[in-house]
């Protein structure tokens, strides 16, 4: 199951990539969309989670964006309550109790953003600056959440993880 905020600008490309990966792996993907600004209340997300609960998926992926980020702890609690292994795109979700995350290191991304802002403030024209993509990605596993879900994470995956979280549930 994929949980996705349709108001997020990157949602379409994330959904296409997720659909393609699921199809290549022979996974029947259930798409659960919701519409919510990152600063609004969460009734739409609550409805989406209820739809997810009724669908009884085997696992869940949550697309990273402002609204799911703001609700990351409740998403982790929902996943644990439903006994859903869940994958997130940023480590902050795993720090909040999510099972695993793989994605760009947000701290590194913000540092790069600050460096670009510094160049602009010193007179560089934004149009003259190169487009930058993330260069530091990280795999984070929450071992306490795995234990709460009754999952044994394979040793090779634990050894490949950039960081293990042993709290947050």
What domain count does the chain have?
A: 1
Which of 109, 105, 126, 108 lies closest to 117, judged by CA?
126
Residue 89 corresponds to which tokens in the numbers above? 């795109």
pLDDT attached to residue 42: 73
Distance (Å, whole) CA 13 – CA 132: 18
The answer to whether residue 73 is domain-embedded is yes
Lowest model confidence (mean pLDDT) among 29-38, 86-95, 126-135, 137-146 = 29-38
Distance (Å, whole) CA 58 – CA 49: 14
Q: Which domain holds residue 62?
A: 2-103+137-165
The answer to whether residue 31 is domain-embedded is yes
The answer to whether residue 24 is domain-embedded is yes
The answer to whether residue 75 is domain-embedded is yes
Q: How confident is the model at residue 169 (pLDDT cuts 50, 70, 90)?
A: low
The answer to whether residue 159 is domain-embedded is yes
The answer to whether residue 121 is domain-embedded is no
pLDDT surpasses 90 at 110: no
Mean pLDDT computed over 21-40: 87
CATH number of the structural domain spanning residue 153: 3.40.50.2300
The answer to whether residue 113 is domain-embedded is no
pLDDT surpasses 80 at 39: no
Q: How confident is the model at residue 146 (pLDDT cuts 50, 70, 90)?
A: very high
DSSP 127: G
pLDDT surpasses 80 at 25: yes
pLDDT attached to residue 168: 63
pLDDT surpasses 70 at 142: yes
Determine how many CB atoms are found less than 10 A away from the CB of residue 80: 17
The answer to whether residue 156 is domain-embedded is yes
């Amino acid at each position: 199951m994929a949980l996705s905020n349709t108001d997020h600008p990157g949602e379409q490309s994330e959904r296409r990539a997720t659909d393609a990966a699921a199809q290549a792996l022979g996974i029947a993907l259930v798409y659960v969309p919701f519409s919510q600004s990152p600063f609004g209340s969460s009734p739409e997300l609550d409805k989406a989670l209820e739809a997810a609960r009724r669908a009884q998926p085997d696992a869940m992926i949550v697309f990273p964006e402002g609204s799911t980020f703001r609700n990351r702890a409740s998403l982790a609690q929902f996943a644990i309550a439903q006994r859903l292994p869940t994958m997130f795109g940023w480590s902050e979700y795993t720090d909040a109790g999510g099972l695993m995350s793989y994605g760009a290191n947000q701290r590194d991304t913000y540092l790069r953003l600050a460096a670009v802002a510094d160049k602009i403030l010193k007179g560089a024209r934004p149009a003259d600056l190169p487009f930058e993509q993330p260069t530091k990605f990280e795999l984070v596993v929450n071992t306490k959440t795995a234990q709460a879900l009754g999952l044994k994470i394979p040793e090779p995956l634990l050894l490949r993880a950039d960081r293990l979280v042993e709290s947050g549930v």
